[in-house]
């Protein structure tokens, strides 16, 4: 049975009794255009988060709205939002700005601007803790395994390795991999063997 965004949202809300918060990408042009055309970012900021670290200043601003939500052709959307990310690199002074759009099944009461921005930001912790490690440490993008169930199985094995190392308290997965490659008996201890 083919999966579509509409069916996925219906499954989450109707069957799993869950809520969703998704960033809208260009593969949903109608939704993206609907939100972008309202130019929410030109209005007063509803909530803003400022973080300084790793040599940069990051300012995230959000504008949620229910205006014209009925024109979004997806089920269970109660709010949509625009997020503006401004990053200033303190060493060079260079500033980059990015606009992102999103949808959620949360209503205005539960989907406060602060909560929406926090949830959206939480996505990146998953990206940074798992996918980035798989790409950088395991060089997943250059894998030669491309057919059958091979790619999925290798992703599962990489996820297992990363999870075991994190459960063992490893902060630096790359150095832990190097150490365990030199001492494979320690890797077996992680598995309880």
pLDDT in tens, 121-164: 876 665 566 777 888 888 888 888 888 898 889 989 988 888 88
* Residue 36 sits in the same domain as residue 83: yes
Evaluate whether residue 129 is within a structural domain: no
* Residue 98 sits in the same domain as residue 165: no
d(CA 43, CA 64) in angstroms, rounded, equals: 11
The chain-wide mean pLDDT, for the chain, equals 89
Evaluate whether residue 123 is within a structural domain: no
* Residue 53 sits in the same domain as residue 105: yes
Last residue of a domain, one of 76, 111, 146: 111
* Residue 145 sits in the same domain as residue 186: yes
Evaluate whether residue 146 is within a structural domain: yes
Q: How many domains does the chain have?
A: 2
CB-CB contact of 87 with 96 (8 Å): yes
Q: Is 118 exposed, middle or buried (0-12, 13-18, 19+ CB in 10 A)?
A: middle
| Mean pLDDT of all residues in 65-71 | 93
* Residue 25 sits in the same domain as residue 85: yes
Evaluate whether residue 42 is within a structural domain: yes
Evaluate whether residue 126 is within a structural domain: no
pTM of the model: 0.69
pLDDT tens, position by position, 12-49: 999 999 999 999 988 899 999 999 999 999 999 999 99
- Domain span holding position 63: 5-111
Evaluate whether residue 152 is within a structural domain: yes
Evaluate whether residue 116 is within a structural domain: no
Evaluate whether residue 83 is within a structural domain: yes
* Residue 161 sits in the same domain as residue 101: no
* Residue 107 sits in the same domain as residue 141: no
**Helices 173-182, 150-167: inter-axial angle, 10-degree rounding:** 100
């Amino acid at each position: 049975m083919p999966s579509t965004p509409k069916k996925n949202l219906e499954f989450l809300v109707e069957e799993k009794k869950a809520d969703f918060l998704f960033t809208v990408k260009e593969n949903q042009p109608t939704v993206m255009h609907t939100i972008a055309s309202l130019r929410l970012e030109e209005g007063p900021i509803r909530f803003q988060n400022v973080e300084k670290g790793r040599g940069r200043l990051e300012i995230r601003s959000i504008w949620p709205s229910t205006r014209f939500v009925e024109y979004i052709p997806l089920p269970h959307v109660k709010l949509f939002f625009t997020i503006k990310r401004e990053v200033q690199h303190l060493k060079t002074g260079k500033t980059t700005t990015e606009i992102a759009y999103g949808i959620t099944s949360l209503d205005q009461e539960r989907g406060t601007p602060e909560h929406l921005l926090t949830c959206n930001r939480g996505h990146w912790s998953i990206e940074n803790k798992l996918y980035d490690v798989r790409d950088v440490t395991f060089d997943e993008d250059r894998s030669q395994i491309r057919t059958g169930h091979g790619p999925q199985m290798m992703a599962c094995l990489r996820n297992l390795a990363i999870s075991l190392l994190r459960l063992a308290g490893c902060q630096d997965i790359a150095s832990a991999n190097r150490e365990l490659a030199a001492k494979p008996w320690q890797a077996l201890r992680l598995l309880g063997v």
